[in-house]
Chains A and B, each alone.
Chain A
Amino acid sequence: MTTTAPTRRELRAEERSRRGSPAVGRFPAPWRVLGYTLVGCLALLYILPFVLQAVTSFKTDPDAAANPLALWPSPPSTAAYERLFGLSEAGDSVPFMRWLGNSALVTVLVTTGRVVFDSLAGYALARLPFRGRRVLFVLLLAVMAVPNVVLLIPRFLVLNTFGMFDTYAGMVIPLLVDAAGIFIMKQFFESIPREVEEAARIDGAGVLRTYWSVVLPMARPALITLTIMSFQGSWNEFTHFLVSTQSSQYETLTTGLARFVAGGLGSGTQYPLKLAAAALATIPVAVLFFAFQRHFVRGANAGSVKE
């Protein structure tokens, strides 16, 4: 790029900087209006599906079928939610409370496990010198490249062999550790100044003590990110539960909803009920998202770490 520029241009830029506006000036007004309109339409594309979902969940079945685009239910109906929460008849085909319970149980266990085990392993890989650390780290990177979709049959095989197929243990234990989480924690622990731990060591604190009362408190932001990622991951997990269970008593929100809506069996019918169930399944993650958006952002970028 050239560094010399016509004087006229320089003057223009100078004038701009005197006005105190950012480096490049504003668009002319007509363009700005057009731009805002386009951005507005784009945003609408991202919002409208959720709005329609929420509205339709309060419609009656005939209304939902006849007026799929109507933004107001007529007549409004809470029948879908009553059925889901077992307040009216025929709750047995959609045992929503059971799905919810299973999802909650699995999510709590998996999140706890990941926070504990991922941070332990991450710390050891970052800071504790032991034989084979490098090999383990290379293995970890290799394991991170294994996509979940190729693990469908392999996971089933191992659970079947261990007699864990169709049990809560089979649903939870394989998910208790995830390689990406270990990687994130390792990266974070490496960013903590070594001197802090060395000071604690010189003061006579053992490894466990240093880890628990010096390092972990400093790792709070990373731990929150990890907690949120794990929560979101296990709440939305589908494929693993699909291949690790078959009885309906183990159905979670994802596998239950999937059985209910997939395969075109009842397609075109009961959309208020399906959309209400989907909406309720989305709410916990949505709440978490709006409360901790910063951490979701960090998690998204951590997922793309390149090494």
Chain B
Amino acid sequence: MIPTAALRRSPRGAVPRGDRRALWGWLFVSPATLLLGLFLLLPILMALWVSLLEWDGQSNPFTGGRADFVGLDNYRELFVEDGLDRTLFATSLRNNAYFVLIYVPVATALSLGLALIVNQRLIRGRGLLRTTFYFPSVTSAIAVSTVFLFLFQGSGAVNSLLSWVGIEGPNWFADARGVVWVVLGAIGLVDPDRPSGFLAEQGFLGLTWFEWLSGPSVAMCTLLFLLIWTSSGTFMLIFLAALQNVPQELEEAAALDGVSRRELLWHVILPALRPVLFLVLTLALIGSWQVFDMVYIMGQGAPGNTTLTPAYLSYQSGFGEADYGQGAAIAFVLFGIILVCTGVQRWLLRERNARFGRTR
């Protein structure tokens, strides 16, 4: 026992000579290292190079071929140069920003609600409920998107349901109107068809303020419904695991103090869930920049580019328009956005963990 104990405490890197475990260690990690290196790190480096090129996908861009080095032009076109590229990119950012703004709070609140329901000791059929809420999360995004295409057709199930309560549903997938202007138009505040004044004339990154402030389009709402529906189950499970870690004694002590159910939720359960709340919020934030499969099936940008997201725009620039440099540049901007979100997450959770580590 003594030699291994000594080894365990030895400073890092100082592996005793003749320890065959070091050799085996390298042998064990080499397939994974090789594959991750070749198909994760190398592609990123290659794409970084390609994002500096004007390349149409035909030749080999690494041996010269027919690819022009254009420096940062691909990035400049996204942010600085007035043109179609910048307008499209700004549109995709706007769409995704609204996605974040609605999806993150709604999905978090809904999944917390579901977890609280499923965690009720008094409710019957809890296991069944958990299965029900979680099942959409495990199915293929392509398959459930197909189902939603059917449900939200112009004369589909959702509009039939709406007609029962006297609402004439929109033609979901063809409706490019922003919901903000639809709602404001419905109550007579603005005329959505004729934007006026400052909002229509001024703008930022090639989009007018009228376009920036439009809210998600009706078509984008179907994507929001779908993503909330498929991801709330996963988040519910994360909340549920945390809820089951809330010490029983805490609840009992609170009950002895005679607190009401609402006070218990606000002052005992939710504070105990805070670190997990941060986790879910940031997971949702990161996830909402990564939606691709559903956009591919349900929108592909249409109608009027209102379901265009940076992820889809990157794909479309590369594979649709053979402008791989531009596509790679968009991918890196998106990567940057997601990395910032991930950084925020790790920073937030580290602080929480340090504080929670001692009390647990």
Q: What residues of A have a CB within 8 angstroms of the CB of B38 in the complex?
A: 158, 174
B141 close to A238 (CB less than 8 A): yes
- Whether a CB of chain B sits under 8 angstroms from the CB of A223 is no
Please give me the residue from chain A that is nearest to B342 by CB atom. Answer: A145
* Total number of A residues with any Cβ neighbor in B under 8 Å: 115
A15 to B131 alpha-carbon distance, docked (Å): 35
Distance in angstroms from A189 CB to nearest chain B CB is: 11
- Whether a CB of chain B sits under 8 angstroms from the CB of A300 is yes
Q: What residues of B have a CB within 8 angstroms of the CB of A149 in the complex?
A: 289-290, 292, 311, 314, 331, 334
Known interface pairs A268-B153, A275-B150; A46-B132 also in contact (CB < 8 Å): yes
- Whether a CB of chain A sits under 8 angstroms from the CB of B332 is yes
Please give me the residue from chain A that is nearest to B326 by CB atom. Answer: A153
A39 close to B22 (CB less than 8 A): no
Distance in angstroms from A281 CB to nearest chain B CB is: 5
Q: What residues of A have a CB within 8 angstroms of the CB of B47 in the complex?
A: 153-154, 157
B297 close to A258 (CB less than 8 A): yes
A242 to B315 alpha-carbon distance, docked (Å): 10
Of residues 19 to 49 in A, which have CB atoms within 8 Å of B's CB atoms?
22-24, 26-27, 36, 39, 42-43, 45-47, 49
**How many of chain B's residues touch chain A, expressed as a range?**
35 or more
Q: What residues of A have a CB within 8 angstroms of the CB of B137 in the complex?
A: 300
- Whether a CB of chain B sits under 8 angstroms from the CB of A58 is no
- Whether a CB of chain A sits under 8 angstroms from the CB of B167 is no
Distance in angstroms from A2 CB to nearest chain B CB is: 7
A129 close to B143 (CB less than 8 A): no
- Whether a CB of chain A sits under 8 angstroms from the CB of B189 is no
A263 to B346 alpha-carbon distance, docked (Å): 38
Q: Could you tell me which B residues sit within 8 Å of A by CB distance? A: 1, 4, 7-8, 12-13, 15, 19-26, 28-29, 31-33, 35-36, 38-44, 46-47, 50, 57, 60-62, 114, 117, 121-123, 129, 131-151, 153-157, 160-161, 173, 229, 233-234, 237-238, 241, 248, 251-252, 254-258, 261, 264, 267, 279, 283, 286, 289-290, 292-293, 296-298, 300, 302, 311, 314-315, 318-319, 324, 327-328, 331-332, 334-335, 338-339, 342, 346, 349, 353
Kindly list the 6 A-B residue pairs having the minimum CB-CB distance in the complex, ordered from nearest.
A9-B258, A130-B25, A154-B43, A128-B25, A124-B28, A121-B32
Question: 9 interchain pairs (CB within 8 A)?
Answer: A24-B264, A43-B132, A49-B136, A136-B29, A239-B293, A274-B149, A274-B150, A297-B134, A306-B346
